[in-house]
Structure 1
Amino acid sequence: MISKKTIEEVFNVAVIEDVIGDFIGLKKAGANFKGLSPFSDEKTPSFIVSPSKRIWKDFSSGKGGNVVSFLMEHDGCTYPEAIRYLAKKYNIEIIETQDKTFNQKDEDDKESISILLDFVQKQSKEYLINNKNILKYLLDRKLDKGIIEKFNLGYLPKGSKEFYDKLIKKGFKKEILIKSGLFLEGDNIYSRFNERILFPICSISNRIIGFGGRILNKDKKTAKYINSPESLLYQKSKVLYGLNFAKTEIIKNDNCYLVEGYLDVISLHQKKITNVVASSGTATTIDQIRLIKRFSNSITILFDSDQAGINAALRVIDVALSLNMYVNIIKLPDGHDPDSFSKEMDYTTLKKYLNENKQDFLSFISNIDSENLEIPEKKIKLVKKLLHSISLVNDVTNQAIYIEKASKILNLDSRILFQDLINRNKKHQEKEEKKIIKEQEINPPSKEEQFLFKLLLNHGEKYIQINVNQKVHVAKMIIQELQLDGITIEHPIFIKILGEYQDALKKGKIIEKDFFINHRNIEIVKITAYLISEKYKIDNWEKKNIKVQKEEDILFSLVKEALIRFKLKRISDITKEILDRIPSIINNEEKKMELNRFSKLMNLSRSLHKQVGREC
């Protein structure tokens, strides 16, 4: 188990904007940083990172938290994995503590698999360097030693049993070797990547999560390329090969080249085209396109020139348009893929070709089906194809621009196309409205409860003056007031937060909001980030000489009124529950007790209403 000291050091050292900036494009916005949400398909940035508060808040999805919760949300990793990632990033030594209740398997097999994959990558790299024939094979394919080193290419020789035994001797368990996807189990143990060149597949945070393997011989019965199977670390539909290298260049160029294979990426990198990623030989998924969208809204498809490549490009076009991305396609000369084509020219010639042969999706689709448009059936099919793609765009202005261009291509009145599009949009909207109904939390906190805890988290450690001779911490005042009237907190996360304050007060301590921002309970982190984030800053008002009262200036009044309004809301809810329950109570004594409780609550309600200037 990771020690508390290590966790504290990680939180102290980690720079939240630096960590999150590795995953999404951030731009300075006053005291904060802003970027497009990685959790929703937004066009206007609403993802905010606050370096001073050390939190992030995504206003489009409602998510938020600290640097660890971001990694957990973004990469789907566990709390310990996020801590280990940050420790590695900032060169912090991880101190482990002994815990009899701790079990490595319960912690998750992910860490063991990760260590195994790192070891195999290093070992395969040694095999490649020491095998002159394999190295010559790659050099003959015009890959230089620098690019082989950059992408950590490796090779696994023949000999499954020997390799398996070596890993067992190194301390790796058979269960982990199988779960990693490196080995297959049947009558014998068999290495999946036997006699293949290995391409390490990395997560966006540069962690090896799987491998691609290319066979050297031309045996038609054997697949040329294979990938690691899905595992605890590797989900192929959510990974893009090369993104760990490309993310910064994609932001810089505001464009991402999407190719199909490992060598396509590597060869383009060798020609200094580095804003490029690959779908790793699988059909491109919406999750993969969402990954690209985090860094740029523009995608340029660069697939093989054969019919399979064209069909794959058409599928990607529709996925990208549905995410409101700008899509361009580059068709390579017949018989070429990005790997072979890039090797025939220098950087300048290649760059010029890519720029001059870029087509938008309308031109690309039209050029494919441009023959025999005099035949009505052919033209109708092209109209339907173009309108289908345009209808996927969730932006009226963009749709209008695309319709104008389609009108010129098809030589049809744009008003006719608009009407057809409107009809399509109506049908699409009806389907979307059914999806938009959001799942509601079973017991969402009331606005009164939220505001009370907003004050508690933001100001709990501060003193407020009760009278001339008495001052008290905000946290203590809130706890005492709630205990005084016996009014309980309802929301489970707020109950846990209040419990933390109560435990601290018993020990004579007062905790600050950083304690909750860095809490191990990720739900506490999320709700803390939500309540302490400010969507509307008052700084700009003050610059305009508009006087705005801050919470600190009227803290006593705010806390007092927040407590009263919360109590009134809870009393209202409880009395309604009592009235609903009374008719079903058979026992007279129990009914009398409930009526007595109802009466006391109503008296308290009248008293509280008077305090806020309202008679009941």
Structure 2
Amino acid sequence: MTISRATTEKVKDRADIEEVVGDYVPLKRKGQNLWACCPFHNEKSPSFSVSPAKQIYKCFGCGKAGDPIQFVMDIEGIGFNEAIRHLAQKYGIEVEEDQNVTPEAIQAYNERESLYIVLNFAKDFFAKNLMTEEGKSIGLSYFKERGFNQNIIDKFDLGYALDGWDHLHKAAKAAGHSDELLMKAGLILQKEGDANRFYDRFRGRVTFTIHNLGGKPIGFGARILTQDKKQPKYINSPETEVYHKSDILYGIFQAKKSIREKDNCYLVEGYTDVISLHLAGIENVVASSGTSLTENQIKLIKRFSDNITVLYDGDAAGIRASLRGIDMILEGGLNVKAVVFPDGEDPDSYARKVGSAAFTTYLEKNAQDFISFKIGLYAEEASKDPIKQAELIKQVVQSISKIPDPVIRTVYIRQSANLLEIDEDIIQAELNKIYLKGQKDQHFKEQRQEAEAASFVEDLLPVKEEPTSVSKILELQEREMLRLLVSYGFEMVSDDLHVCQYLLQETDELVFETPVYKKILEIYKDALSEGVLPQPEYFLKHDDAEVKREVINMITRRYELSTLWESRFQIFTYHEADDLAKTVYDSILHLKKKVLKKMLEEARMKIKEAEMEKLDEHVLTERLSIYMELKKFQVEIDKQLGIVISF
């Protein structure tokens, strides 16, 4: 269902950009704005700016920009209505539905929402099963043996799937959920050869609910408790419309706040590892749930912290097999440490064995940076074999090459040289070989892609003319005039004239060619016709995302002069707002100059066309006359701008 306009306005009025972004990204104040590394792309130097005064965010690296609602849409990967619901829940705003919506819109919304509803039903069903006779003797007994108390069971929505073919299916059908929906949610399977027979996917297993960032159930992991070699120890929900294994981490919903506060994320392998660490008082922990770490999972962690500590079971063979994950984390721009537990122990077993205090101490004392960890892993066998030592050096260099920050790379080169007892130049030479090979591979790849693209375009697409440089310049000048209009239109350029009145009067006959700028100009004029003198905030509340993004780009700047320059050091600088009359006047002249330049180019083309086609001399004379008249206007504008020679 579509959300009512009244609810949307309440959310817009209540949502605070600092609070909303702060739920996902650690912000640091610098000047009037707050800054962070962008959660939407990998970077080491903060270019993501949040303006509490303007209630907007803007990344000067990737270009992402918007208001609190747009931020939730971007970071959660959800639509406008879902973002409004998310913020309404955060701020305790009652959501009112708009009844005037099309059947198609209702169906599209209901399909996704129904999946969440049926998955939540399954979560509650599994939880209730723990209180049955079978659930208490098997499921609850298993959790209690592991030391899981009721608080932790409730916190992670743990449950039990009864040992029968269709307990969940029957209960869900009785509650009104269809077979089709249960299938789409991955909760039931269809009996082979019989389209009318279904059975539960999870049977006779304890269940672990997988939540999305917002806390909604999106899938399940289930562990069998009997020694049955014919069945896998764990089974998981399949990929669905709401559950993508490579995009989520187990425990991220319960951990995100602590990860941000501690500025570190512990990464473990399994569900019970996460829960045991919570019992030990360590909440900044997530699990890859037995699957290989993915790029999207690394990006998910980076939203909350740049630091990650990988916890490894005390199994050397298993550790070596999973080292590729460290290289991926390094490539993702995170700082990596590692902790290895004693032989035969994992985070779950060791936390239960030594207790909360000793476990926390162990993590603090045994965390190693990835270089020390990797070298230590192979040091003993490499010390006795020159070939293996050379291989170790290459592996270490390969990991260092993944680090995007050159300063951190340099530090690790020096550390590696000391630990391996070799010259830094040798490591640097190996690193250069990797980079050179990477550049060659990238060059060949780009050449191949360009050739394929050129062939594809030539065979299938009509040839499109590239926009002329004059058109591009004109577009930039249109943007500049609109920037002044949006930023200062409400200011006075004289005692009785607003900036907007002056700008619009002087450019009334000009036609904007860039679609989005034309749209912004129309919105501005419509507001004036309704008696509203728009300020930037007027556009930030507009429903058109493209308009909001463009206006944000216009009114935000990456760098600001410190107020101390003038207040403390008496260093005074010129600001465009100091003389709006001159700023606006120059902008109008520059815009007219660019329009004339385009008109002159078109006039030249027509003259050339008349000469080539040998048109009537009268036609050629007329076109030359138009060109000369335009040239006079250009010369006059150049004089006013102080330009001696016209280009």
Give the structure 2 partner of residue 553 of structure 1.
578
| 1:303 aligned counterpart, secondary structure | strand
1:327 matched to 2:328? no
Counterpart of 2:153 in structure 1: which amino acid? I
Cα distance in structure 1, aligned partners of 2:614 and 2:98: 56
Give the structure 2 partner of residue 493 of structure 1.
516
Deviations 1:461-494 (A, max 9, x none): 33432xx6x424x33443333322xx22232221
* Structure 1 residue 259 displacement after superposition: 0.4
Cα distance in structure 1, aligned partners of 2:581 and 2:188: 66
> Quick check: 2:167–2:200 contact (8 Å CA) kept in 1?
no
Give the structure 2 partner of residue 116 of structure 1.
118
Cα distance in structure 1, aligned partners of 2:183 and 2:629: 66
- 1:519-534 to structure 2, matched below 5 A, reads 519-534=542-557
* Structure 1 residue 434 displacement after superposition: 8.6
1:168/1:573 CA distance change after superposition, 3 Å = farther
Give the structure 2 partner of residue 209 of structure 1.
218
Give the structure 2 partner of residue 508 of structure 1.
531
> Quick check: 2:38–2:47 contact (8 Å CA) kept in 1?
yes
Deviations 1:362-413 (A, max 9, x none): 2332333231533332222112111111222233333333233322333323
Give the structure 1 partner of residue 86 of structure 2.
85
Counterpart of 2:571 in structure 1: which amino acid? I
* Structure 1 residue 17 displacement after superposition: 0.8
Give the structure 1 partner of residue 361 of structure 2.
352
1:184/1:563 CA distance change after superposition, 3 Å = farther
| 1:143 aligned counterpart, secondary structure | coil
Give the structure 2 partner of residue 461 of structure 1.
490
**Unaligned regions of 5+ residues in structure 2, if any?**
451-465
Give the structure 1 partner of residue 461 of structure 2.
none
Cα distance in structure 1, aligned partners of 2:592 and 2:179: 59
* Structure 1 residue 66 displacement after superposition: 0.6
**Unaligned regions of 5+ residues in structure 1, if any?**
none
Counterpart of 2:516 in structure 1: which amino acid? I
> Quick check: 2:339–2:363 contact (8 Å CA) kept in 1?
yes
Which of 49-58 and 123-132 deviates more?
A: 123-132
Cα distance in structure 1, aligned partners of 2:107 and 2:444: 41
> Quick check: 2:263–2:304 contact (8 Å CA) kept in 1?
yes
* Structure 1 residue 430 displacement after superposition: 5.2
Deviations 1:423-465 (A, max 9, x none): 333333555689999x9x9897843233222212222333432
1:515/1:124 CA distance change after superposition, 3 Å = farther
Aligned partner (choices 146, 152, 159) of residue 157 of structure 2:
152
> Quick check: 1:23–1:204 contact (8 Å CA) kept in 2?
no
1:608/1:394 CA distance change after superposition, 3 Å = same
> Quick check: 1:303–1:310 contact (8 Å CA) kept in 2?
yes
Aligned partner (choices 547, 554, 565) of residue 541 of structure 1:
565
Cα distance in structure 1, aligned partners of 2:333 and 2:443: 18
1:573/1:541 CA distance change after superposition, 3 Å = farther
Give the structure 2 partner of residue 34 of structure 1.
35
Give the structure 2 partner of residue 395 of structure 1.
405
* Structure 1 residue 92 displacement after superposition: 0.9
1:511/1:169 CA distance change after superposition, 3 Å = farther
Deviations 1:538-591 (A, max 9, x none): 434332333344444322322222122122223323443554476568796998
How many residue pairs end up in the alignment?
Answer: 608
Deviations 1:295-337 (A, max 9, x none): 3322211133335631453112111222343222212222222
1:481 matched to 2:506? yes
Cα distance in structure 1, aligned partners of 2:619 and 2:233: 78
1:132 matched to 2:136? yes
1:410 matched to 2:415? no
* Paired-residue identity, %: 37
Give the structure 2 partner of residue 309 of structure 1.
318
Counterpart of 1:123 in structure 2: which amino acid? F
1:471 matched to 2:472? no
**TM-score if structure 1 supplies the norm length?**
0.89
1:381 matched to 2:391? yes
* Structure 1 residue 263 displacement after superposition: 0.9
Cα distance in structure 1, aligned partners of 2:215 and 2:515: 37
1:121/1:310 CA distance change after superposition, 3 Å = same
Cα distance in structure 1, aligned partners of 2:152 and 2:163: 25
Cα distance in structure 2, aligned partners of 1:241 and 1:581: 67
> Quick check: 2:125–2:168 contact (8 Å CA) kept in 1?
no
Aligned partner (choices 185, 188, 199) of residue 180 of structure 1:
185
Which of 351-360 and 264-273 deviates more?
A: 351-360
> Quick check: 1:475–1:501 contact (8 Å CA) kept in 2?
no
Which of 601-610 and 318-327 deviates more?
A: 601-610
Counterpart of 2:527 in structure 1: which amino acid? A
Counterpart of 2:408 in structure 1: which amino acid? N
Cα distance in structure 1, aligned partners of 2:215 and 2:292: 23
| 2:383 aligned counterpart, secondary structure | coil
> Quick check: 2:44–2:405 contact (8 Å CA) kept in 1?
no
Counterpart of 1:376 in structure 2: which amino acid? P
1:498/1:383 CA distance change after superposition, 3 Å = same
1:584/1:292 CA distance change after superposition, 3 Å = same
1:141 matched to 2:146? yes
Counterpart of 2:532 in structure 1: which amino acid? K
* Structure 1 residue 82 displacement after superposition: 0.9
> Quick check: 1:303–1:313 contact (8 Å CA) kept in 2?
no
1:493/1:207 CA distance change after superposition, 3 Å = farther
| 2:341 aligned counterpart, secondary structure | coil
Counterpart of 2:551 in structure 1: which amino acid? T
